[in-house]
């Protein structure tokens, strides 16, 4: 049984090299997101010669204000990977100046990805879901994943009509708001993510058993048998990584 993890912070794990070996051993297709352009090189190096790990080029919105000057470097690196993330917007307790810089950076990233075509982008959208949807819009020539979506239910239909996916982690399954969102999502738009190490308890280890538990909980929530849910999730991931022709 091959699981997938569309949002995982490899560089922030305690022993990244050991985790890479575990990912390969468990045959878990994994997208290692990064938080700034400078970190991308490390994750990319660890992903070389692996079958199940891909490094994503990220620029986390909460770091944009202090690393704004890295935008040109980020745009120069875009051709090196199909995988983009973590990028997006975060307007939770942010100043107007901070959020303005985020908007400038995110618009430029999306514009560049639109030109490149066929990018897979995992997006942070806390308290800025409406702006994210407006900037990306419909008919984007790539694949969009809204990571750990926690916004208004009324915006889900717009995102679904635009063809976006939603990645789900254990914390989302354990929250009342998260479960409401999942109940509304069609099963063919759901992907798995760990967002490790942020979702792990102090003594909890990153392991494929996390995904087994998530599949079982998702199956129960959506009234499917666990094996049926796994088949749907597997199809979703395969569709995600298919090259757009």
147 has binding-site annotation = yes
7 has binding-site annotation = yes
* C-beta separation of 78 from 64 below 8 A: no
Distance from C-alpha of 120 to C-alpha of 116, rounded to nearest angstrom: 11
207 has binding-site annotation = no
DSSP class per residue in the chain = ---EEEEE-GGGSSSHHHHHHHHHHHT-EEEE--SSHHHHHHHHHHHTT-SSEEE-B---GGGTTTSGGGHHHHHHHGGG-SEEEEEE---SS--HHHHHHHHHHHHHHHHHHHHH---EEEEE-TT-HHHHHHHH-SS-SSEEEEET--S-GGGHHHHHHTT-EEEE-HHHHTSHHHHHHHHHS-GGGEEE---TTTTS-TTPPP-THHHHHHHHHHHHHHT--HHHHHHHHHHHHHHHHSPP-
213 has binding-site annotation = no
DSSP 191: E
* C-beta separation of 9 from 197 below 8 A: yes
Residue 208, both tokens: 């494929």
Q: Which residues pair with 84 in a beta bridge?
A: 57, 121
- Residue numbers belonging to the annotated binding site: 7, 9, 86, 124, 147, 195
Annotated binding-site members for a divalent metal cation: 7, 9, 86, 124, 147, 195
């Amino acid at each position: 049984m091959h699981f997938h993890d569309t949002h995982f912070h490899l560089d922030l794990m305690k022993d990244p090299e050991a985790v890479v070996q575990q990912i390969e051993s468990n045959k878990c297709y994994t997208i290692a997101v990064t938080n700034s352009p400078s970190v991308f090189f490390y994750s990319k190096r660890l992903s070389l010669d692996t079958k199940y790990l891909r490094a994503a080029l990220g620029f986390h919105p909460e770091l944009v204000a202090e690393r704004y000057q890295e935008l040109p470097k980020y745009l120069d690196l875009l051709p090196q990977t199909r995988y983009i993330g973590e990028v997006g917007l975060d307007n939770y307790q942010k100043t107007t100046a901070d959020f303005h810089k985020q908007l400038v950076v995110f618009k430029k990233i999306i514009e560049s990805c639109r030109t490149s075509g066929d990018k897979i982008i995992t997006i942070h959208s806390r308290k800025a879901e409406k702006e994210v949807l407006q900037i990306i819009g419909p008919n984007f020539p790539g694949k969009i994943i809204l990571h750990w979506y926690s916004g208004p239910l009324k915006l889900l239909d717009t995102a679904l009509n635009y063809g976006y996916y939603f990645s789900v982690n254990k914390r989302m399954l354990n929250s009342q708001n998260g479960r409401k969102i999942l109940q509304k999502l069609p099963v063919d738009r759901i992907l798995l993510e760990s967002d490790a190490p942020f979702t792990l308890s102090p003594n909890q280890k990153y392991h494929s058993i996390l995904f087994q538990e998530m599949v079982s909980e998702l199956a129960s929530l959506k009234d499917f048998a666990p094996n049926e849910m796994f088949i749907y999730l597997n199809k979703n991931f395969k569709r995600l990584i298919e090259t757009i022709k």
